[in-house]
Amino acid sequence: MTEKPLKILQIAGEIYPYSKTGGLGFVTADISYNLANAGHDVTVFTPLYGSVWKIIKKQNVETVLTDISIKIDDSTTITCSCLKYERHNGSRKPITFYFINHYDFFGRYSRNLYSSADMHKRFYFFSKAVAVIIRELNLKFDIVHAHDWMTGLFPRILKEELSMKNKAPRTVLTIHNLAFQGSSFINEHRFDKKYQRPPAAYLPKYWDDRKWDRVNFLKQGIKSADMITTVSSTYAQEIVTPQFGEGLSNFLFKRKPIYGIVNGIDYKKFNPATSKVVKEKFNTVNFTDKKRKNKQYLIKTLKLPKNFINLPFVITTHRLSYQKGFDLIIDNFKKMMKMNMVMVIVGEGDKRYMEKFHELNKKYKNFVFVTPFSDIAEERVMAAGDILLCPSVYEPCGTSQMRCMRYGVVPVARQTGGLADTIYDYDKKRNLGTGFLFENFDKVELFETLKKALKYYQDKRIWKGLVLRCMNQSFSWEKSIEEYTFLYRKLLKKKSKKK
């Protein structure tokens, strides 16, 4: 007997191609499109950023509500409008998008979506507006799937707006990165042992900036959602411990089981055999020659010496942040530059890393810093790259290693979170593995592991096997979507039993 398709709402602070600051935008899009492709009815609520207008302005967009009054607190009401758009993405069913339109909160942002001083109030307003619009349009869902801290307040707000808890759909909250909790105060002090958390409070008065800066959106979501998931099985185990729990391990432990479902990548979008931007398309049969030609093209594009063609290209394509382990790279930089290799970093992010890599770019001829980040630059560097550095402090899942492996780039990574779940350490005796892992966040361990990888790079037979196994890995969304669907139905069965 075929089970009935589910009515699923995805609520996200960003979703590709309309908005993206990192991997989250790709993941929310992939989950939505693949659920639709599996036959479910999928609706997405997301802010109408300035970047969205550039994409949908020529499309058949409908304004479904104007001047909606959103009561924020006893003294504050803010109005917005809501646009509706149906997107056909080659899936079995179209996805219905609802964009929350408020220029000051969303429309004036196109790139740095979370950098404003009033960020917390903006996303409280977003959650509140979505809940009100669901009620006004009488939209019905089986499951509401909220993503990360930006939507952490939504499960509770939705139940409040629908008056009675048993009228609300079941809610799932996915933690994509526990370090970001929707409180600047907490983020600034999370490495300070003397830091004491402020007294817990649900929501302050809307205009009280000082108190809003201390509201922990993610904590509220963990307490209110019906089910908690995260983006890899190892990370699900890690975050209930004090070491990785970012101050919330006790709350997460009480919510066990935390379900870990590994992210996937879009195999149509990331495919070196069909790419429109890679100079020489390649596959598992001809990658040796074609990747070399792509390296020649990259050398020409980056204006590097032609004799660099015979050197291994070590790359990173991560967001520039502390989490990604760039401190270890910087601490080893002088020694790395003396090795027989070329390093290319593609990215943008924290100011201190941006300034440092600009400085190092001028100093070393075998280092190139490519910024700002672009999908085209990333794909061309992956097509030419040999080794990917992933020395993360922690890694909920990570998709950079999956994309790079798809393009035949062998990862050197710290054995944590999703990196541990997607990379298999090379075993010379059995000639198995897809990369090189090190255990501790330590500059010596990173350097020695990279040195080992460069040594094996010189053995063409071993390296060819590593690249081939990387390219043959399957990180498609099919299995993950089956797991999400199973959890959705499990929640609904719990709800029906309670009735």
> With contact defined as beta carbons under 8 Å apart, do 58 and 2 qualify?
no
pTM for this entry: 0.91
Fold of the 287-471 domain: Rossmann fold (3.40.50)
Q: What is the pLDDT of residue 498?
A: 59
Q: What is the pLDDT of residue 223?
A: 94
Inter-axis angle of helices 375-384 and 287-301, to 10 degrees? Answer: 130
Q: What is the pLDDT of residue 199?
A: 46
Q: What is the pLDDT of residue 235?
A: 98
Structural domain boundaries of the chain? 7-264+478-498, 287-471
Beta strands in 233-318 (DSSP E): 259-260, 313-316
Q: Which amino acid is it at 117?
A: A
Q: What is the pLDDT of residue 327?
A: 98
What is the C-alpha to C-alpha distance for residues 100 and 79, in angstroms, rounded to an integer?
11
Fold of the 7-264+478-498 domain: Rossmann fold (3.40.50)
Q: What is the pLDDT of residue 421?
A: 97
What is the C-alpha to C-alpha distance for residues 20 and 8, in angstroms, rounded to an integer?
22
* Intervals of the chain under pLDDT 50: 165, 195, 198-200
Alpha carbon 156 to chain centroid distance? 24
Q: What is the pLDDT of residue 190?
A: 57
What is the C-alpha to C-alpha distance for residues 392 and 398, in angstroms, rounded to an integer?
10
Q: Identify the bridge partners of residue 343 per DSSP, sorted by sequence position.
A: 314, 367
Given CA atoms 273, 319, 103, 47 in this order, what sign does their dihedral have?
A: positive
Is 287-471 in the same CATH topology as 7-264+478-498?
A: yes
What is the C-alpha to C-alpha distance for residues 125 and 102, in angstroms, rounded to an integer?
10
